[in-house]
Chain A
C-alpha cells in the first residue's frame, strides 16, 4: 500500500474551500492544495503531484467534467485518481461521472468530521480493486 497524503481540491467557492481544507487537514491530517478553477488545476497539478484529486462539478468557466478530461490528457498526472465532490448527485449524474473514469462521488453538503474517513475508504477500495502492478 502506497502512502496516501496529498490531496488537490478543485473548488470555486472560497467558503467551501476553507471548510474542506480544515476538515481534511485538521481532521484527516492530509496535505491539501486548493485550486479555484479548472484552469488553475491544469497548471498546478503536475507541480503538486497529489495522490488524489477532489473535483467540483459546477464551476464558472471550465466545469468539472471538462477539467477531468483535460487533466487526463497530461501523461504525468493521468493516473492520479479523481473523486467528484458535488451537489449534483442524481443517479444518472453519478453514472455519468463514473463513466468518465471517476473513482467515486462524494455528495455535498459533506460532513466535515467524516469527510477524511470517507476519502480514505474510497482510497482503500481503489487500492484493493487496482490491478496488480508488475514489478
Chain B
C-alpha cells in the first residue's frame, strides 16, 4: 500500500497539470523540431514525489504528444525517462541531469532507434535527427527542473527539514555552468539553423520569381489574347513536374494552368504566408511536421500589367527538395548541439568538482575539528591551491588553535573545581556519618518522610530494627514496606487522624500506638513529630521521633493487673474470722466482713462480746447454746444457723470454732470463722423444690413416657408413665439399659441410614436418636415402641438435649406419647376422605371448588367430562374461564361484591346458566353454589349439572305439546260447536235422554278446550315464551271486573262471590290480563270446591308495601299430605275428586308462575274440612 497524504496528492495533481500544459506549450526549436516542456514537471516529480507519482505525471503529460505527433512512442519514451530518473534519484543519484543522461545513453537512444526506424520505418536521417533532438529536449528539461529545484530549495530553505534536500555548492555550480555553456553554445546554433532555412527559402523565392517573370515577359510580348500561346509559354516555363504555373484574372480565378495546382484548392490544405511574397501551402491530415512540410508547396505570384484579362502569374513548387536539403544541413547542427551538451555536462561536472574539491576537503577536515579542540590537540586543516580556500583554511587553523588553548585552560579550572567538590563531599560524608552515629545511638528512632499518599520514608534510624524486626532500608523510599503498614490496624486511623489534625493546626503531634513486630508480637511506640514547611509554605516533610515504650507499657499493665487482683481478693473475702481470749472471752480481733454479713459493727463486739448472741435467730438459739456447751468439752463447734440482721432479714451462716493452745497444751484462745451460706441454702431449698416438682410431674404424667439418659444413652429416669406404657419397671432399666431395649431395631436402622446420607457419615445406634436434637435442640418423630409383652405401640417421641450451664451435653430426654388413637383417627379420616373422593369422582354432577379470589381449587372427574378440561390443567386458574360473557368479565366483581356486601347473585341460590366448554361450545347447566368457611377462609363449592339433554327433551316436549294442542283445537272447534248448537236447542227440541247425553258430551268438549288452553299456557311459561305487558294498573276496578265476570260461573251452583275488605285505592304494576287470569282461576277453584249454596269471599288488604288478594271458600280444604304439591303441575288431591270437580290440574301451577313472573307471590292457608284461603300478593306501585 502506498499511503498518500493530502499534500502529496495536491502536488501530484498540480505537477500532472503542469506536465500536460508544458507539452501543450511546445515550441518549435527549429522548423519541424518542437521542444516540449512536460518532462520538467516529471523531473520535479522524480525529485520530490517518487517513482509511482512520477510515472503517472509523465504519462498524463505525455498524452499530449499523441496529439502533437500522432504516435504513442514519444509517450512511452517520456514515461520510461521519468520512471528511470525517479528510480535513479531514489537510489542516490541526486542529479537530475546526470540521471537523465544515464537514461538517454543506455535506454533512450536504443528505444528511439527501435521505435522510429524499426517500427515506423523512418529514414535513418530523420531517425537520427529525432535521436538527437529527444535527448537534447530531455536533458534541457532536466536542467530546467534542476535549476527550479535548486531555486526552490534555496528560497524555501527554512522549510526544508533535512540536509538531503539542501542544495550543495557542487550542484549549484554544475547547473550554473551547464546553463552558461548551453546558452553560449546553443543560441548560435539555433540562430544558424534558422538562418539556414531563411537562406533556403530566399533561394526558392528567387527561383520562382525568375520563372514567373519570364512567363510574364513572354505573355506581355504577345499582344492580344492568345490562350494557346500563353499555354505554350507556361509549358515551357514549367521546368519540372514539381513546379506548376497558372495565369489568374483580376478576381484571382485561374485562366489557364500548367501542372497540378495543389495550393489553389483551399479544401485540402492551408496557405501560410512567409517573407517577401513567398507563401507555403501545407496539406491537412494527420502528418508529422517534417512530413507535412515535405508534402507542402511553396508558392508566389507576380502582378502582370498591360495584358487584358490576366492579372497575375502564379507559381507553385514542391517543398520536398528544399526540405531534404535543409535536413541535410540540420543534422550537423544537431550533432554539434548534442556534442555541446555532452561536453558541457562533462566540463561542468569536472569543473564543479574541481572548484568544490578544496571546500570538501576543508569540510571533511572540519568534522574532526571539534573533537580535536575538545582533546586539546593541534588542528590540521588542508591547504588549497586556491588562494581564498587557503586563506580560509589558515584562518580556521588559527581559530582552532586558539580554541584548543582556551579549552585546555578551562579543563584545568574544572579539574580544580572537581577536587574542591570531592573534598567538600568527603567532609559532608564524615558529618553525615557522625550524625548517623549520633542518631543511631539515641534510644529512639528518628525519621523524615514525605507528606504524600504513602508517607514515603526519606530517612529512618537503623534502630527501627529493634521495634519492628525490619531493617531501616526496608522503609526508606518505602522500598519493601511502608512504616504505616506495621502500625496495628486498630491504631492506624487514630494515628493518621492525629497527624493530619496536627498538620492542619500547625502544631506537632505526640501519641502512643502499637506496632506489629515481624515476630508477631505487639510493641508499643511513643511518637512525637512535627511537619516541616518548605520555602513556599507547603508542608514538604514530616519529621518525627519514635520511642519503644513496650517495657513501660508492660510494667504498667502488670501493675494494673496486680492492683486488680488485690482488689479482687479483698472484695471477694466472704469469711468472717475472729480470735477470743480464753480466759476473759474478750474479742481480740474480728475482720470487717462481720459487718457485711451481720449488719452490726465490729466495735459493738469488741465492747460487748456477748452481744453476739442477740443476732441469733430465736428458733435456732436453743441448739446454738447447746452446741456451745458441748464445745467446752469437745473443743469442736460446727453449726449452720440463722441470724437476724438489724434490717429484718434472716441469713444463714455456717460457723466453726476451735481452741488455740500454747506449748503446754493450755487453751489460750478461741478462733472461729463463719461464712454466709444464705445463697447456697436458698439454692438448696430451690433445688429440693424443683426436684420435688419434677418428681411429681414425672409421676403424674402417667400418659406420657418420660425417659432420660446420660450421654452414653444409659437410662437415668424412667417415669411411671413409661412403666405403664412399656411394661418395664424403672428398677429394671435405670442405670442398666438404653432405649434400644424397647425400640424397633429395623426402624432405628432405617432412620440411621437416612441420617448417614444426610450428614455424609455413619450415624447408628443411640446416636440415631440424638444426632438431630444435638444440632437443632429437639426432634419430634414417630416411632414404634415394643412393650415388654411384645405388643407394638406407635408413639410420637420428642427428644431434647439436656445441657449444663456451660453448654456441655449432660444427657438426653425423651418424651413419648401413645398415638394409637390418633393413628386410628387418621386412618379413619383418610378412609373417609377416600370415600368422599370416590363419591366425588363417580358423581355425575360436576363439583368445582374455588377460593375467595375465584381460583379453582378442585375439579372432579364429572366436571372434567362436562367442561372438557383436565383437572391438572385448570386447577389454579380463574373460574371465569368456564363462563361466557358477560359473566366472564363480571365474575371477579360478583365475587368481590358478595364478599364485601353479602348480597348474593348466585351463591346459595340454584339457577340455570350457560357454561362454556373448552372447545368453545356453550351449554345450559344447572348451577348451585354454596359457601363454605374452611379455617377462616371462604371457599365456594359449585355443583354443575349439564342439562343440555334435559333442555333438548323439554324443548321437544313443549313443541310437541304446542303442536298437538293446536291441532286438537281444530276438530274440537267443530265438535264443541256442534254439541253447543244441539245443547242450546237451536236445532229443535231433543228427547230428554238425548239432551242429557249431548250435555255430557258438550261439557267434556269444553273441558278438553280448557285443558288445551292450560297446556299451551304452561308450555309458553316453561319455554319462556310468555310475554308480560307490564303496566301501572288501578287495582280495584280490575278485581271488581274479574269478580263480576266470574259471578255467572257460580250461579249454577248457587255459590255467591262476595267482595269484602277495605278496597284500598292503590295501583300495582302488572299485566292486567294475566292478573285477571290468576284471579279467575282462584275464583273458579273456590266455586268448584264450595258446597252448593256456599259463599266465596274475596278480600283485598294492604300489608306493608304489598297488597294481598285472598279468595276463601268453605270447601273441604287441602289435605295435609297434599300441601307440598298444591302448586305442582297436574296436582290434584284426589283423582276421583277431579272428575267430579272438573279442571285440568294446571291452573294453580300456571297461577304461581304468572304471579312470580310479575314480581308477586302466591300462597294458601287451609284447615282440612274447614275450607281453604288462596291468596296472592303484589307490590304496591310507588312513584
Task: Please list the residues of chain A having a beta carbon within 8 angstroms of any beta carbon in chain B.
Answer: 13, 15-16, 18-20, 22-23, 26-27, 87-88, 90-92, 108-113
Contact = CB atoms under 8 A, between A and B. Distances in A.
Interface string B763-787: 0000000000000000000000000
A15 B974 CA distance: 6
A87 to B, nearest CB: 4
Interface string B919-957: 000000000000000000000000000000000000000
Interface stretch (B8-16, B52-60, B266-274, B981-989): B981-989
A67 B48 CA distance: 120
Given A23-B986, A87-B966, A91-B1029, A113 B980 contact: yes
A81 to B, nearest CB: 22
A23 B982 CA distance: 10
A110 B973 contact: yes
A69 to B, nearest CB: 24
Q: Give 9 closest A-B pairs by Cβ, nearest first.
A: A19-B977, A15-B974, A109-B973, A112-B980, A87-B969, A113-B984, A108-B973, A109-B976, A112-B977
A15 B978 contact: yes
B1027 A92 contact: yes
B978 A87 contact: no
Given A92-B1027, A113-B980, A113-B981, A16 B986 contact: no
B972 interface: yes
A113 B1006 CA distance: 13
Contact of A108 (B970, B980, B986): B970
Contacts of A27: 981, 984, 986
Given A91-B1029, A111-B980, A113-B980, A19 B986 contact: no
Nearest to B981: A112
A19 B971 CA distance: 11
A56 to B, nearest CB: 10
Contacts of B980: 19, 23, 111-113
Nearest to B978: A19
Residue with the greatest number of chain B CB neighbours at <10 A, chosen from A19, A23, A27, A109: A109
5 contacts: A16-B977, A23-B977, A91-B1029, A108-B973, A109-B1009
A6 to B, nearest CB: 20
A62 B987 CA distance: 33
Given A88-B966, A90-B1020, A16 B1027 contact: no
Nearest to A86: B969
Which of A13, A19, A88, A111 is most buried by chain B, counting CB atoms within 10 A of its CB? A19
Given A13-B974, A26-B987, A112-B984, 12 more contacts: A16-B970, A16-B973, A18-B974, A19-B980, A20-B977, A23-B980, A23-B986, A26-B986, A108-B969, A109-B969, A109-B976, A112-B981
Q: How large is the interface on B (under 10, 10 to 19, 20 to 34, 35 or more residues)?
A: 20 to 34
Contacts of A92: 1027
B970 A87 contact: yes
B1002 to A, nearest CB: 10
Contacts of A110: 973, 977
Contact of A22 (B969, B973, B981): B981
A14 to B, nearest CB: 9
Contacts of A15: 971, 974, 978
Binding site of B, secondary structure by majority: helix, strand, loop or mixed? helix
Interface in B268-300: none
Interface in B967-1024: 969-974, 976-978, 980-981, 984, 986-987, 1005, 1009, 1020
Contacts of B966: 87-88
Interface centre among B966, B981, B1005 (most CB of A within 10 A): B981
Contacts of B974: 13, 15-16, 18-19
B456 to A, nearest CB: 111
B967 to A, nearest CB: 9
A113 B987 CA distance: 12
B987 A87 contact: no
A91 B977 CA distance: 24
Interface in B1024-1069: 1025, 1027, 1029
A110 B977 CA distance: 7
Contacts of B971: 15
Contact of A112 (B972, B986, B1009, B1029): B986
Contacts of A111: 976, 980
Contacts of A91: 1027, 1029, 1073
Among B966, B970, B976, B1029, the one with the most A-chain Cβ atoms within 10 Å of its Cβ is B970
A27 B981 CA distance: 9
Nearest to A20: B977
A27 B982 CA distance: 11
Nearest to A25: B986
Nearest to A17: B974
B219 to A, nearest CB: 134
A26 B977 CA distance: 13
Contacts of A113: 980-981, 984, 986
Given A87-B966, A111-B980, A113-B981, A19 B987 contact: no
Contacts of B978: 15, 18-19, 112
Contacts of A109: 969, 972-973, 976-977, 1005, 1009
A8 to B, nearest CB: 18
Contacts of A18: 974, 978
Contacts of A108: 969-970, 973
Nearest to B967: A87
A89 B1029 CA distance: 15
B675 to A, nearest CB: 116
Nearest to B1028: A91
A110 to B, nearest CB: 7
A113 B974 CA distance: 13
A113 B966 CA distance: 23
A110 B973 CA distance: 7
B986 A87 contact: no
Interface string B468-506: 000000000000000000000000000000000000000
Interface string B628-643: 0000000000000000
Nearest to B966: A87
A85 to B, nearest CB: 9
Nearest to A113: B984
A8 B343 CA distance: 156
B989 to A, nearest CB: 14
A88 B965 CA distance: 11
Nearest to A22: B981
B966, B969, B1005, B1027: most-surrounded residue (chain A CB, <10 A)? B969
Contacts of B977: 16, 19-20, 23, 109-110, 112
Residue of B976, B977, B1009 ringed by the most chain A CB atoms within 10 A: B977
Contacts of B973: 13, 16, 19, 87, 108-110
